[in-house]
Amino acid sequence: MKPIVISGSGLYTPPEVITNDELVASYNQYADNYNQQHAAAIAAGHTEALAMSSVEFIEKASGIKQRHVICKQGMLDPQVMMPLIKPRADDELSLQAQMGVSAAKEALANADCQAGDIDLVIVACAYTQRAYPAIAIEIQQHLGCQGMAYDMQVACSSATFAIANARAAIMAGLAHKVLVINPEICTPQINLRDRDSHFIFGDVATALVIEPAQERGRQRPLIIESLKLVTDYSSNIRSNFGLINRCDPDTEHSANNLFSQQGRKVFKELLPMIHQHLAQQLQETQLSAFDFKRFWLHQANINMNLFVAKKLLADKVTPDLCPVVLDKYANTASAGSIIALHLYRDDFQSDDLGLLCSFGAGYSIGSVILRAL
């Protein structure tokens, strides 16, 4: 059987941007309003005053400088602090499908592949905007793909786990050409009133074409050489939003339904797991970290990326070896490492090695070793 490759990648970047300056001004106005409204209780020690945010705090904590968003309206209003996204009619293309279609078209063009050649569409992301019909089936119909389609969720590892599913489907004869799409609309789940997390997420869509190797395409195909996936339950990164929330009017709009994390515990528990996971994969494939031209790491936090990179490479970490995109895109859940792959792969020559790695809620870790054809 021919090697199975990533033959094309695509990226859709929303045009609207929110800078750290804008986000901080909005949050600090909210915090100031709150502190004034509760001044008596704060003075009496019954209520804790909200601390102010700052650009310096955000960049030190995360490395994020800005984020692209699908809807800026409402997010910076201290009285609203959420994106005001209008619903679309059932016969209109959904917002998530629209983003996914844009990324998919670029991936298909880069793979020199027609939508009608695709016989499996996988939409893999942290959140989907509805339960059913699947966003993947909507995209399948809109593009004119064949075969089957489904949605799947593994939080920040959705993309790497979907690559594994695509490869397995091809190897099993269930599909021949697969489109993996990651339309990440994360901003509706941010609690913009929480200083520790109001800056974390952005919105984006990425896409990959996965198929047996062909002598064509605008991008050099990347052979999927090795896959390693693992999950281990933890509540330290959590989002409780779901259909059952509406069944209790008292908590339907609770902040507890939005994204939350216990950052210190995540660092302490997840980072050693990532290093152990990657070390085992390198041992299993008889490779050294120094054999790789590039590491496309999950783009959640600059400090996590540096920890992982330095564990693997000691003092040899460079921006070229471990490119960062979260400064411009923020955390885009499963799409982050795919953005890095899409933007930093053009210089690959035959037999160059790259490692794509995701990690996050679950806990989940997915790593893919890729070799340029």
Active site residues: 156
Q: At what angle do helices 55-62 and 302-313 cross, to 10 degrees?
A: 30
Cα–Cα distance list, 360 to 216, 267, 299, 310 (Å)? 35, 10, 10, 19
Q: Which residue has the tokens 């779901």?
A: 242
Cα–Cα distance, 208 to 292 (Å, whole number): 21
- Rama region for 12: left / alpha / beta (φ>0; ψ in -120 to 50; rest): beta
Pairing, β 353-360 against β 294-297: parallel
Buried b (16+ CB within 10 A) or exposed e, 3-40: ebbbbbbbbbbbeeebebeebbebbbebbeebbeebee
Cα–Cα distance list, 314 to 17, 149, 274, 289, 360 (Å)? 35, 42, 15, 10, 23
